[in-house]
Amino acid sequence: MNFELAQCGIGDAADLGADLLVVLVHREFKARNDAVSRLIAGAIKAGDFEPKAGKALQMYRPAGVTASRLLVLGCEEGLARQTRSAIAGAASALKASGVRRVAVCWTGDAGPEQVQAAVAALAEASYVYTTTKSKAEGRLIDRVVLGVTDVAAARGALDHAVATVKGVELAKEWGNRPANHATPTMIARAASALAKLPRIRCEVLGPRQVAKLGMGAFMAVAQGSEEELRFIVLRYDGAPKDVAPTVLVGKGISFDTGGISIKPAPEMDEMKFDMCGAASVLGVFRALGELKPAINVVGLIPTCENMPDGRAVKPGDVVTSMSGQTIEILNTDAEGRLILCDALTYAERFAPRAVVDIATLTGACVIALGGVRSGMFASTDALAAELHAAGEASQDLCWRLPLDDEYAEGLKTNFADMANVAGRAGGAITAAKFLQKYTAKFPWAHLDIAGTAWKSGAAKGATGRPVPLLLAYLLAQPSGTAAPAAAGRKAAPAARRKAA
């Protein structure tokens, strides 16, 4: 899908050539003497339309308009989130037969934020997964023109939005693929293909190399599967070598049966989405290759299956992680933290500015935050603030949860340095406390995306989150940023700090 900008206000919208003209109507709409304004004013006067959220009116072959269809959407004050919501509500019209060229304009000013929101919403509304369908027809829309009053001011926003869409859709592609079409080996090939983009390098480690590194926790999860594990190291080098990179660590469980602690059969097919953290890292690197920012980024993806065969790790087994710390595996379905902890230890070698891990980690986070905001944990207030701001700016929201030391009490065991699970209470937090034990040497954040990485039911599919959040966070970093003081500083208790 190609996106273009056109110097155009509402007075010129009637001349935009398209199969579908979408007009976002602000609450303060005042009719002018042009074809589109007259049509909108007439509809308002007749009571057929209001410029409120959720209101829409479609017209076929409207008088004086070049486009064969006109879709009028209520957009309140015209804010970015209102733009996105209005377009999202018009998904059926955007997927209609014969709609290949779309034009979009606003009755008021549309700045960079509105342009980004419109691009994201149009891509989301028209997305179609086709990879494993024999006769599927893909996205019908191939060209979108966005009418703005200042093309130069919107150019950078458009470039950012288009790159983000490419990253989101790569993440969706790999999240949506069934496990037999997204094995660790296949995921590694997808990562290697990204090395064709500017400034990106990729290294893939196999079982022997991982064993040599001493990644005992990662290997324990993989040992029950016939599919070999892969450890993927992506590097984007946009700044000088002495500039500290940000490291992204994505959980890549390509299918999660739960292992010996096997999951219930209903909806187990959705465990193909357990590698959406890894998919988001792939998506971010896809976008970085488009935008070529002057920063350094490392992506680490430990990827394997969690299966219950005769070699599988058993509840009560004790393994030694790459850090040397021992872990009693009380529940084999708490496997994501086991592959992540070794990747977090590996991240130390990059002397990172910060490390952010991304994982579909806990059902407890879904209970806490639902599908609106990702759970965010951070070892420093500064890193938490950066991620929260990036989420708000990208409309890919997150919410900070606490890391009080008392939450780690349940991880104590008589048989190892720690257990891999605590009790049911505060499960998302105790999982984060487990990961925190491997992050003393750098500022660290954890994004639990179990509630936001995919949707169930009729809309079942990967969302591509949190690619927009991560990209906004990375691009907000100043070029040449040195690594901050390491991350020994504790996050303030929830009762004493303001909510992020």
DSSP state of 200: E
Q: How many CB atoms lie within 10 A of CB 134?
A: 5
* Structure token pair of residue 24: 């976002």
End-to-end CA distance of the chain: 36
Note if 27 is an active site residue. no
Q: Residue 213: what are its φ and ψ, rounded to 5°?
A: -75, -15
Choice among 55, 100, 263, 455 that is catalytic: 263
Omega before residue 468 within 30° of 0, cis: no
Q: Residue 101: what are its φ and ψ, rounded to 5°?
A: -115, 125
| ∠ CA 292-294-298, rounded to 5° | 80
Note if 101 is an active site residue. no
Q: How many CB atoms lie within 10 A of CB 270?
A: 15
Omega before residue 466 within 30° of 0, cis: yes
Q: How many CB atoms lie within 10 A of CB 91?
A: 14
For 10-65, where are the alpha helices, taking DSSP H only?
A: 35-45
Contacts of 365 (CB under 8 A, 6+ apart): 374, 375, 427, 428, 448, 450, 451
**For residue 6, which amino acid is it?**
A
Sign of the dihedral defined by the CA atoms of residues 409, 334, 235, 130, in that order: negative
Choice among 337, 373, 437, 465 that is catalytic: 337
Nearest to 284 by CA among 298, 269, 266, 267: 298
* Structure token pair of residue 207: 């079982």
Please list the active-site residues: 263, 337
